[in-house]
Amino acid sequence: MPMTIYLDVLLLSNLWADYALLRTAARLTHTPLGTKRGLAGALTGAASALTILLPPLPLPVCLGMRMLLALAVCAAAFGIRNPRHLLRQTAVFLAVSLFFCGFLYLLAMLRKPSGWYVQNAVIYADISMMTLLLGTAAASAVSVLLARRNASAPQKGYSLHLRIGGNDHVLPALADTGNLLRDAFTGKPVVICPASAFPEWLRQYPDAESAAASCKGFRMLPVQSVTGQRLLPAFQPEYAAVQRAESRSEQPVDVLIALTAEVGTPAVIPACCIR
């Protein structure tokens, strides 16, 4: 018996599901995601669901097409400034998609639904909005728990190894899931360091901005904090690495350093830099 596909159900359900999946992927990768960018990615995902209307395609073609479409969805949501980060976000998006689809399928099976149809690796489910809301809410709740568990580990002590002007500096550091600052041009995470941690280096310059301007990749970064928005001088160090307090090996990181006037505070490392 031929299956009737309602485009409004197909597009709206995929729009809602993709938006929830992008929010979950952003939470797990500690990536900021605005509402407009999230909707842009969700609309891309909803449009990609129209491939269910194509003639049946071979399984390898379907899987390859779904991966490319997932990459397009994440590119629309997170941008393409850093290909490595985009691939990581896409991998997490695909993983949570598999988890969500399995959870939603289980929930729907318990409610004995009808109207399920699968073609070209796209699932059409003529289910109630309540089932869809419950499924996304439950999957999102699990992702929140996983993100909180992942965020609890970085609270341990770290040390930050920097090489600036040929000189090595080692600073105490903390990983913070609230530090979502990224450079708008390169997409690199930004580590916030107190300028007082580099007394010998800064002594050569009249101020921290002049010191940062002497390094590669200098720019003034807008930073939003509890005291309001401010501009911090930022630059790219010659070398940067993070080391756990209980570890003997260090992990190189590709970051920018932003200098703040606060004294006696540890460096704040974005949690996405910690493996």
Residue 104 sits in the same domain as residue 222 = no
- Output the pLDDT for position 103: 59
Instruction: Tell me what the mean pLDDT of segment 211-235 comes to.
Output: 83
pLDDT tens digits, one per residue of 217-227: 898 988 776 56
Residue 193 sits in the same domain as residue 253 = yes
Instruction: Tell me what the mean pLDDT of segment 166-195 comes to.
Output: 83
Q: Mean pLDDT lowest for which of 13-22, 59-68, 111-120, 258-267?
A: 111-120
d(CA 165, CA 88): 32
Residue 181 sits in the same domain as residue 232 = yes
- Output the pLDDT for position 128: 62
pLDDT above 90 coverage of the chain, percent? 12
Residue 16 sits in the same domain as residue 131 = yes
Dihedral angle, C-alpha 74, 21, 91, 83, nearest 10 ° = 20
What mean pLDDT, rounded, does the chain reach? 78
Within a domain: residue 252? yes
Within a domain: residue 1? no
Within a domain: residue 112? yes
pLDDT tens digits, one per residue of 125-154: 666 666 666 766 666 666 666 655 555 444
**pLDDT of 119 above 80:** no
User: Of 97, 122, 153, which residue constitutes the final position of a domain?
Assistant: 153
Residue 139 sits in the same domain as residue 18 = yes
**pLDDT of 95 above 50:** yes
Residue 178 sits in the same domain as residue 236 = yes
**pLDDT of 117 above 70:** no
Kind and range of the H or E run holding 89: helix 83-110
Within a domain: residue 98? yes
User: Of 153, 174, 199, which residue constitutes the final position of a domain?
Assistant: 153
Residue 111 sits in the same domain as residue 237 = no
- Split into its structural domains, the chain has a count of 2
Contact predicate 165/184, CB 8 Å = no
Residue 255 sits in the same domain as residue 233 = yes
Within a domain: residue 261? yes
User: Of 103, 129, 153, which residue constitutes the final position of a domain?
Assistant: 153
Residue 17 sits in the same domain as residue 140 = yes
pLDDT tens digits, one per residue of 33-51: 778 888 899 899 888 888 7
Q: Mean pLDDT lowest for which of 4-18, 43-57, 184-198, 236-250?
A: 4-18
Residue 110 sits in the same domain as residue 84 = yes
Residue 138 sits in the same domain as residue 258 = no
Phi, psi of 262 (to 5 degrees): -65, 140
CA-nearest of 207, 149, 151 to 179 is 151
pLDDT tens digits, one per residue of 202-211: 989 999 999 9
Residue 14 sits in the same domain as residue 82 = yes
Within a domain: residue 38? yes
- Output the pLDDT for position 213: 92
- Output the pLDDT for position 257: 92
- Output the pLDDT for position 112: 47
Residue 218: domain span? 156-273
Within a domain: residue 2? no
pTM metric for this prediction: 0.53
Within a domain: residue 251? yes
Domain CATH number, residue 207: 2.40.70
- Output the pLDDT for position 1: 46
**Of 225 and 23, which is predicted with more confidence?**
23
**pLDDT of 270 above 60:** yes
**Of 155 and 89, which is predicted with more confidence?**
89
Contact predicate 180/261, CB 8 Å = no
